Amino acid sequence: MDVSLIGLREHPEQGIATISSFLDEVDTVFHELNTYLSEATQNRLRNYFKVLTLNPEHSEQFNPLIQRTTKALQEALRRERQNLVEVSFEELTAEYSEQELHLIGQEISVIQLTVGCSVGCPSCSPMALTGVRRILSWDAIQEICLNWTESLSKNNVFFHWSSDSGDWKDSSGKTFRDVIQLLAEKYNYFPEITSAIPKGYEDEFKDLWSSVENQMRFSASNINLQRVLGEVPSREGISTSD
C-alpha cells in the first residue's frame, strides 16, 4: 500500500494534534490494518499517531488532515476486506478422503466462518489471528449444512472458534444474519451465538438478540455495554461479567 494515500507525507515535520474521538475511531481500523500492511508502513503509522497524541495544542489547525486521514484509513480497510479469500467447499475438503469426510461430518462441533478475527480479545484462543484473512464462501456454508445436516443439532454445532461470527461477510453482501436465517428456515436449527461484537456489527447483533430462539452471549466489556447493552431489549439471564 502506498503510504501517501493516507496522508503520512503531509506536514511530516510538524506536530499534528488529535482528539480522543479521532483516536477511538481509527484504533480499531488500524488494529485490523496491521494484518495487511508492510512492517515499514506500520511503523510510519505508529509514528504518525504518536505525533498526534503529543501535540494537542494544534488540533483545530490540523482537523482537516485528521479527517482526511480517518477517511483514507477507512477506505484502505474497505479495500483490504474486499480482497479476502473466499474458500469453497471443494478447497476446504480437498485433502480428505470420503471416509475421512464422513467421520468429520459425524463428529463436527464447530464451523469456523473466518480465519482471523477483527476484535482480538486477549483472553481468546492463542490460535486466533488478528484480522480476518479468509472466510468460508456462502456456497461452502450451504454445502456443509447440506452434507452434515444431522450433526448440526445432534452435536450442537456453533460458529465461533478463534474467530467471531460477526466478522463474516461475503463479496455479495451476505452476513451472519443470512447464515442464521438459512439454519433456521431450512434446518430448524438455532445455534448458540457468542460474539465480541465487531465494529459495524452492532445493528445486526441487536436484531439477532431480539429473536428469542437464538441463544446469545456477548463480551460484556465496558465498551460493549456502552455501545450495545443500553440499546437492546432486556432478556432474562443476561450476565454483565467481563
Residue 237 lies in a domain: no
Residue 12 lies in a domain: yes
Residue 178 lies in a domain: yes
- pLDDT for 34 equals 63
**CB < 8 Å & 24+ apart, contacts of 35-38:** 35/116, 35/129, 35/130, 35/131, 35/132, 35/133, 36/1, 36/80, 36/131, 37/1, 38/1
Strands (E), 40-128: 85-87, 114-115
Q: Do 62 and 177 lie in a common domain?
A: no
- pLDDT for 14 equals 38
- pLDDT for 35 equals 58
| Joined grid coordinates for residue 191 | 445455534
- pLDDT for 197 equals 77
**Threshold 0.75, pTM exceeds:** no
| Phi, psi for 134 (deg, rounded to 5) | -140, 155
Would you give the end-to-end CA distance of the chain in angstroms?
37
Residue 236 lies in a domain: no
Residue 155 lies in a domain: yes
Number of structural domains (the chain) is: 2
Residue 200 lies in a domain: yes
Residue 239 lies in a domain: no
- Distance (Å) of CA 53 to CA 14, 45, 49, 205: 13, 13, 6, 33
Q: Do 217 and 155 lie in a common domain?
A: yes
Per-residue pLDDT of the chain (242 residues; tens, 9 = 90+): 333 223 333 333 333 334 455 566 666 666 666 656 667 776 777 777 666 666 655 556 666 766 777 677 767 666 666 667 889 999 989 988 999 999 988 998 989 998 888 777 766 766 667 778 789 999 999 999 999 999 998 998 988 888 888 888 888 889 888 999 999 899 998 888 888 777 777 777 777 776 656 566 666 555 566 666 565 444 444 444 43
Domain interval for residue 199? 85-231
Q: Do 66 and 131 lie in a common domain?
A: no
Residue 242 lies in a domain: no
Among 82, 113, 128, the domain boundary falls at 82
Radius of gyration of the chain (CA): 21
- pLDDT for 29 equals 63
Q: Do 31 and 109 lie in a common domain?
A: no
- pLDDT for 53 equals 63
Residue that is written with C-alpha cell 507525507 in the block = 9
On the CB side of 144, how many CA atoms lie within 13 Å of its CA?
A: 26
- pLDDT for 80 equals 64
- pLDDT for 143 equals 95
